[in-house]
Structure 1
Amino acid sequence: MHWLYLLLALAALAISFKTSSVAVLVLCLLVALGLLLAWVMALLAQRLGSQSRDESLMLDPVELRRLREQAEARRTAAAPPAEPPTA
């Protein structure tokens, strides 16, 4: 979709070069500028969106605490029993 903005901006720029009317020239240049800005913003939005993490995979604090407790329980169960000191 963002490439459409670029193509429309180039078309507006081409029209502004071909016209002999100053009003159409100014209008086409403003439209081309606006479409170029829209193209850059859409391109940046797409790149940022592709790098963001999936929010459904994020853990809430309760789930994180439960997972930490499970890991701690596994660690204590796997640890060898402490031998009493020999006298």
Structure 2
Amino acid sequence: MHWLLLGLAVAAFAVAFNTTATWLMALCLIFALLFLLGWILGLYSARAGARSRDETAMIDPVELRRLREQAEARKLAAQQQQSGEPPVA
């Protein structure tokens, strides 16, 4: 969508440079600048959106705590298995 704004800005500049009416030139220049501003904002928005993280992949604190507890339990079980002690229930 933002590339369409760039095309419209170029077209407005072309009309502004080729017209003989002052009011039409001023109007086209204003539109061209607005289209350019819209294109820049759209381009920035598209690039910033592509670099943002996926919020659905984030882990909530409860899930993070549960994963840490599981890791600690596996670590304790591995240590007990290496030392030959029976696991504690």
Q: Which residue of 2 aligns with 1:6?
A: 6
Q: Distance in 2 between matches of 1:17 and 1:75?
A: 74
Show structure 1 runs of 5+ residues with no match. Answer: none
Alignment length (residue pairs): 83
Q: Distance in 2 between matches of 1:7 and 1:51?
A: 25
Give the percent of matched residue pairs that are identical in Structure 1 and Structure 2.
55
CA displacement, residues 12-65 of structure 1 (integer Å, 9 cap, x when unaligned): 000001111111111110110010011011011111111111111001111111
Q: Which residue of 1 aligns with 2:75?
A: 75
Q: Distance in 2 between matches of 1:55 and 1:24?
A: 48
Equivalent AA in structure 2 for residue 28 of structure 1: C
Q: Distance in 2 between matches of 1:66 and 1:31?
A: 57
Q: Distance in 1 between matches of 2:60 and 2:6?
A: 41
Q: Distance in 2 between matches of 1:78 and 1:68?
A: 15
Show structure 2 runs of 5+ residues with no match. Answer: none
After TM superposition, where is structure 1 displaced by more than 2 Å over at least 4 residues in a row?
A: 80-83
Q: What value does the CA root-mean-square deviation take over the aligned residues?
A: 1.5
Superposition deviation, residue 81 in structure 1: 3.0
Q: Distance in 2 between matches of 1:76 and 1:46?
A: 47
Q: Which residue of 1 aligns with 2:38?
A: 38
